[in-house]
Amino acid sequence: MTDQILPNKKQLEILKHIYGPQIIIAGPGTGKTATLILKINKLVNELKIPHQNILALTFTNKAVNEINQRLGLPDFGYTFHSFCSYILKTKNISYKIIPDHQRKKIINVISSQFGLRFQEVEVGISRYKNLADYKIDKKIILEYEKILQKEGFWDFDDLLIKTYFLLKNDDAVRLQKLKKYKFIFIDEFQDTSKIQYELIKLFVGGSRNICVIGDPNQSIYSFRGADSAIFDQFKNDFPVCKIFYLNENYRNNSKIIEIINQIFPKQSITGIKNDFYDVALVNTLNQNTQAQWIIDFINSKIGGVNLQNASSTSEKLDNNIRFSDFAVIYRNHEHAVTVKKKLFNLGAPYQVIGEDSLFFREETKIIYKIIKYLLDNNYEITTDEINLSKQINLDKKFSETIPSLINLLLSNSKNKDEEYLVDFGLLINEFDHYENSYQKFIEYYDFMLANDSYDEKSDKINLLTMHSAKGLEFNYVFLCFFNNGFIPSKFETDEDKRLFYVSVSRAKKGLFLISPKTYKKRDLYASNYKQFFNLPDVRYIEDENMAREQKRINKQKLKKSQIKLF
């Protein structure tokens, strides 16, 4: 959340514009959410518009919760999917959303059947259903839909599609459900897919009081059908729209603002902060030294990466720095493995944010359902889950019963990774401190799902992908594998640059871009994006651990070669 108290001149200008279509282009850290809240508050408090006549849509549960909390209206905002669900339920249209592990299983089967990669099929199906331009064999779509229908499921894209056709084909339903909304706000508009945009036009109906807010430079979800050109489409469909720009940054220090202006020079973000900053490009040897450099830096700031050391030495360092000030950001889940293992071995508190979180794992969901059933026998679970529930004894500690259930679940799963055990192990230890640990687990699970698996108040080091970093901010950011082939990707696109821009702009004080020289026995080269850092006071660091690590690797090689001689 950006540190802004009073509206600035540009926000005051925006607040004067009440009616008609509007676009607000808001750069990173410029008070986008604050502006949205100010506009809605003005409608409700000054113009006396009932909040029931205002529709606010955004893209994540966390964003909805933030808007609702800041407005003091617990059930105000919606995600696109939750609003579509609301419309369908008012028409008594029932559905079941396919569990993610089953959806992936279907896509795996289809991928093998057509000789394609999983990701290619998954992205192709989603982009096709979101009306995005994408070449995919229609037979794949037909096969996918046939299996869904046979098993009695919808996927999340179906929520949008079914609602669109319901509203488009039935004027009475459209008028009945939408006529009460006199003002419509769309947050994070750059993330809008074509099917969502078609829904927006149906939502608007006769009212032209629509305000969209976002940043085309932060459009990073093309694999879901989003398109940064959606702002141009809006201008064409609403030619009299008023356009505003927010460019006063309240988040980043002056050096990081210089960098983000280097990435997209036309936007001209201005800063109001001239406080401490530290920006560095770090050369290191491999994923081991990369992880160790991150840990050493945190140690230098906080006095130790485990709770005991940090608390005992914090007087010597900065008492204001917490574990939660640090975020380790990476392109994909695989890049976090070594960092996570090292943090775990050191007893350092951390949380994985976003889709890689253990809260999105099917095993965790089963544990949740079983515990909920044991606490309330009226809660419905499957026969298999009832059988598994015998593994849990609510009279025993959380740590005495849950591990055996996890092992049993993983033994029946193809996804037998040790990291899940590590992540859940940390969680188990936390809940042991509560007298009613099982109920606390249920409450925490619900909270984490509602907040996209991010516990903002938890004092833990944050681990997350570049995509999951969207909308968040941290004092210190480590961007891992700052190498060609990863950042940017092998086939560099405009979205690579936007994704990098989003990641860099998460850092408030310190930004460290780390470039290993090797990964999985192949050479890597520092990212071409280092061109954006040719600025005064940007540090260039050669990791001191490189020589020691290379010596260790050479010893291992020598030992192996000697063993082969025998």
Q: What ranges do the domains of the chain cover?
A: 9-91+162-246, 99-154, 270-308+318-352+456-558, 362-450
Q: How confident is the model at residue 415 (pLDDT cuts 50, 70, 90)?
A: low
560 is known to lie in a ligand binding site: no
* Residue closest to 33 by CA, chosen among 9, 55, 63: 63
Radius of gyration of the chain (CA): 25
Q: Which pTM value belongs to this model? A: 0.89
Which of 127-136, 199-208, 410-419, 497-506 has the weakest average pLDDT?
410-419
Residue type, 205: G
What is the rounded distance in angstroms from the CA atom of residue 501 to the CA atom of residue 495?
A: 10
510 is known to lie in a ligand binding site: no
Higher pLDDT, 507 or 430: 507
Q: How confident is the model at residue 207 (pLDDT cuts 50, 70, 90)?
A: low
347 is known to lie in a ligand binding site: no
CATH class of the domain comprising 270-308+318-352+456-558: alpha beta
What is the rounded distance in angstroms from the CA atom of residue 368 to the CA atom of residue 447?
A: 13
Residue type, 362: E
* Residue closest to 127 by CA, chosen among 234, 226, 232: 226
Residue 173 has pLDDT above 90, yes or no: no
Residue 310 has pLDDT above 60, yes or no: no
What's the pLDDT score for residue 361?
82
Q: What separation, in Å, do the N-terminal and C-terminal C-alpha atoms of the chain show?
A: 62
Q: How confident is the model at residue 180 (pLDDT cuts 50, 70, 90)?
A: confident
pLDDT tens-place string over residues 344-397: 888 888 999 988 788 888 888 888 999 999 999 889 888 888 888 888 888 888
What's the pLDDT score for residue 315?
43
The per-residue pLDDT of the chain, averaged, comes to 88
Tokens for 549? 């690590």
Count how many Cα atoms sit within 13 Å of the Cα of residue 82 in the half-sphere of its side chain. 17
536 is known to lie in a ligand binding site: no
Higher pLDDT, 431 or 46: 46
What's the pLDDT score for residue 434?
85
CATH code for residues 9-91+162-246 = 3.40.50.300
What is the rounded distance in angstroms from the CA atom of residue 39 to the CA atom of residue 279?
A: 36
30 is known to lie in a ligand binding site: yes
Q: What is the mean pLDDT of residues 236-248?
A: 94
Q: What is the mean pLDDT of residues 302-308?
A: 65
φ/ψ of residue 215, rounded to 5: -145, 110
Domains 9-91+162-246 and 270-308+318-352+456-558 share a fold: yes
Question: For residue 511, what are the β-bridge partners?
Answer: 279, 477
26 is known to lie in a ligand binding site: yes
Strand order from edge to edge, sheet including 54-58: 78-79, 54-58, 183-186, 210-214, 22-26, 242-246
Whose tokens are 């991150």? That residue is: 294
28 and 218 Cβ atoms separated by less than 8 Å? yes
What is the rounded distance in angstroms from the CA atom of residue 380 to the CA atom of residue 386?
A: 9
User: Within the chain, what is the greatest distance between any pair of CA atoms?
Assistant: 87
* Residue closest to 23 by CA, chosen among 13, 34, 31, 14: 14
Helical segments of 378-458, H only:
383-388, 398-411, 418-431, 437-450
What's the pLDDT score for residue 398?
84
What are the distances in angstroms from CA 159 to CA 174, 192, 249?
Answer: 16, 15, 36
pLDDT tens-place string over residues 473-520: 999 999 999 999 999 999 889 999 999 999 999 999 999 999 999 999
What's the pLDDT score for residue 26?
95
Residue 17 has pLDDT above 50, yes or no: yes
29 is known to lie in a ligand binding site: yes
What is the rounded distance in angstroms from the CA atom of residue 378 to the CA atom of residue 443?
A: 18
Q: What is the mean pLDDT of residues 79-102?
A: 91
Q: What is the mean pLDDT of residues 37-53?
A: 94
Residue 312 has pLDDT above 50, yes or no: no
Higher pLDDT, 138 or 306: 138
